[in-house]
Amino acid sequence: MPRSPAASRGRATRNDVAKLAGVSPAVVSYVVNGTKKVGAATEERVRDAVAKLGYRANPSARALRLGSTEMLGMVMPTAMNPYFAQLAHEVEVAAAKRGYMVLTFTSDSSVVAERDQLEQLAGRLVDGVFLCSTVSEPDLRSLDLAGIPIVLLNNSVTLPTRDSVGVDLLHGAHLAVEHLAEHGYTDIGMVAGVGDVGGDQQDARETGWLESLERLGLTPGAIVRGTFTPDGGYEAMRRLIRSRSVPRALFVGSDQMARGVLRAAHEAGLRVPEDVAVVSFDGSLDAAYSWPTLTSVAQPLSEMAEAAVDALVGPPHERLHLVVDAHLVLGRSCGC
């Protein structure tokens, strides 16, 4: 494409545009910022001059004028996991209600990318940042230096000095295991996710699974682990099938993983729930559109998003450490 605008970027000034268009510099600002209506012919002349000179308005002028940027930032690991895509959508909806837009970065689960993106947001005129961090102790120095408030979202890790909103993973796991036990299953295994918050730490869903089994007096069934993706669930389930130790019931760490578990089961001729019952986690669209439909521990994303947005742009408040309850959404995969 003709790259003159980019090539000459920053060279032309408002005065240059005014001169070429034969108007005052103030009129250039009216047109460029849309702050005041001018005649159609005048507007056309200014637009032509802007295009010809590759003039670029000073982007901070408008924000400085408004005081607030009416803009929030969000950093999350990936939008390819529908759970995060839905969470981001709910945040956008909640923010829009309050007159804010949300700019999103995805870190691809890289700690370095996450830090760089927070730094970019710190320098980019946002009023606050939602962070779905990939680590338990994110580097927030750039935001602190810029005086930009932060909410840790979807993080079971709570930092005493930070607002946070997350779901009770332990309690959610208890719901899943107890439901499987109510069906009469005693051999309850797990396809657990790794690579989440905390690195080497055991995922809280796995901890909750163990806790529930102990409380119920049941011996833990076989456990396999994988990434929180369909591929991760697929590979883990294939290992379980190859080892000929598929438990009668499985708690699976996420709906995404469960998609892989279902595929591996289908391919091996295992019927769900007749041969192996499944309860997964997240209650996302994936649960409703899997076959069989998944019984899943649903996170109240809308409630979480509303609370997170309020924490950033609502009235002053005490430090927020909100842990919301998950609830079970019934599908066919558990045998109900």
Residues of this chain, 181-220, that bind a second copy according to CB under 8 A? none
Binders of a second copy among 220-239, rule CB under 8 A? Answer: 230, 234
Shortest Å distance, C-beta 182 to a second copy: 25
Smallest separation, CB 101 to a second copy (Å)? 6
Number of residues that bind a second copy (CB under 8 A): 80
Rounded distance between C-alpha atoms, residue 13 and residue 50, angstroms: 10
Rounded distance, CA 20 to CA 232, Å?
61
Q: Which of 95, 103, 97, 106 is nearest to 123 (CA)?
A: 103
Binding to a second copy in span 21-60, by CB under 8 A: 31-32, 47, 50-51, 54-60
Cα–Cα distance list, 298 to 125, 242, 283 (Å): 34, 30, 4
Q: Which is nearer to a second copy, 182 or 291 (CB)?
A: 291
* 155 in contact with a second copy (CB under 8 A): no
CB of residue 274 to a second copy, shortest distance in Å? 15
Considering only residues 19, 38, 63, 218, which one is a binding residue for a second copy as defined by CB under 8 A? 63
Identify residues 277-306 at the interface with a second copy (CB under 8 A). 285, 288-291, 293
Q: How far is CA 334 from the centre of its chain?
A: 27
Site string for a second copy, 243-282 (x = CB under 8 A): ----------------xx-xx--x----------------
Contact by Cβ (8 Å): 108, 78: yes
327-329 vs 295-298, strand pairing mode:
antiparallel
d(CA 238, CA 258): 12
Across 143-222, the runs of DSSP E, i.e. the strands, are 150-153, 163-167, 188-194
63 vs 223, beta carbon nearer a second copy: 63
CB-wise, 196 or 310, nearer to a second copy? 310
- Give least dist CB 210 to a second copy, A: 28
* Nearest to a second copy of 73, 172 (CB atom): 73
Residue with Cβ nearer a second copy (68 or 202): 68
- Tell me whether residue 9 or residue 215 sits nearer to a second copy (CB atom): 9
Contacts 24+ apart (CB under 8 A), 266-272: 268/238, 268/241, 270/241, 270/246, 272/333
Q: Is 10 left (phi over 0), alpha (psi -120 to 50) or beta?
A: left
120 binds a second copy (CB under 8 A): yes
CB of 5 to a second copy, least distance (A): 4
Binding letters toward a second copy, positions 304-333, x by CB under 8 A: -------x----xxxxx-------------
Residue 165 DSSP label: E
Alpha-carbon gap, residue 32 to 238, rounded angstroms? 59
Distance CA 113, CA 75 (A): 10
